[in-house]
């Protein structure tokens, strides 16, 4: 049986992980597993049920009622929460902040961990998140730690929001990113950190294509070295 090949991409909010992972997956013919979308789908459920992020007991109980599925329809990723397509609802700032807050809870992480590992065991996948290389796929064949300066990440987010006609403040966005970094890096369970065997890629002064090229180069070197 052919061994699957797994790529793990970790890094802070706004580093471009999802954009890069999707592009690399398409070029390599891999399945892109959007772990962030999974967490956001759970966060959306908690928000719709009126559960506060501090109420760990309620969140743990609600986890039992959540089913999440990722599908590709005409080449576009769709996220299903309890059978309903929520792809258009999970990218708001409120959902993102809730996802960051509840991801510290063991019940939330355990709910998604099994599904993520099952996907990786059966397919060539590229997965991005905060703890993929350190916790979810510790044996991933290639690990990347993608980062960028907080100001650069804030400017990217500001541009994205303003192009959509959403009013926003650059300073507030950067402060939110800095605070989210702190939460992710200091949480008790699976904190954000660079895996010892991960390759650091700073995207502050790189284009999307340059980052994708760099990661594919790293994967090619690893696969050649492993005799794949």
Question: Residues annotated in the binding site, as ranges?
Answer: 11-19
Three-state secondary-structure class, residue 3: coil
Quick one: residue 112, left, alpha or beta (phi over 0 = left, psi -120 to 50 = alpha)?
alpha
* Nearest in space to 216 (alpha carbons), one of 11, 1, 30: 30
Helices and strands, number each (H, E), in the chain: 8, 8
Three-state secondary-structure class, residue 16: coil
Confirm if 140 and 7 have CB atoms less than 8 A apart: yes
Instruction: Give the neighbor-by-neighbor strand order of the sheet with 84-85.
Output: 68-73, 76-81, 84-85
Binding site for ATP, residues? 11-19
Residue 170, classified by CB atoms within 10 Å of its CB into exposed (0-12), middle (13-18) or buried (19+), is middle
């Amino acid at each position: 049986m052919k061994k699957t090949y797994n790529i793990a991409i970790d890094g802070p909010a706004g580093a471009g992980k999802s954009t890069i992972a999707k592009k690399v997956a398409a070029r390599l013919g891999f399945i892109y597993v959007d772990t962030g979308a999974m967490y956001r789908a759970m966060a959306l459920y908690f928000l719709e049920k009126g559960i506060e992020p501090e109420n760990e007991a309620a969140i743990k109980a609600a986890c039992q009622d959540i089913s999440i599925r990722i599908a590709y329809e005409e080449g576009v990723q769709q996220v299903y929460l309890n059978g309903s397509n929520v792809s258009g609802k999970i990218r708001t700032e409120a959902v993102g902040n809730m996802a960051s807050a509840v991801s510290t809870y063991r019940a939330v992480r355990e709910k998604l961990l099994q599904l993520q590992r099952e996907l990786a065991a059966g397919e060539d996948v590229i997965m991005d998140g905060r703890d993929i290389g350190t916790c979810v796929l510790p044996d991933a064949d290639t690990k990347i730690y993608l980062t960028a300066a907080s100001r650069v990440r804030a400017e990217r987010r500001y541009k994205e929001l303003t192009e959509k006609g959403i009013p926003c403040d650059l300073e507030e966005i950067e402060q939110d990113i800095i605070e989210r970094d702190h939460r992710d890096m200091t949480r008790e369970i699976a904190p954000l950190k660079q895996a010892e065997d991960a390759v650091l890629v700073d995207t502050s002064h790189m284009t999307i294509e340059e980052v994708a090229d760099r990661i594919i180069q790293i994967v090619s070197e690893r696969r050649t070295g492993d005799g794949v």
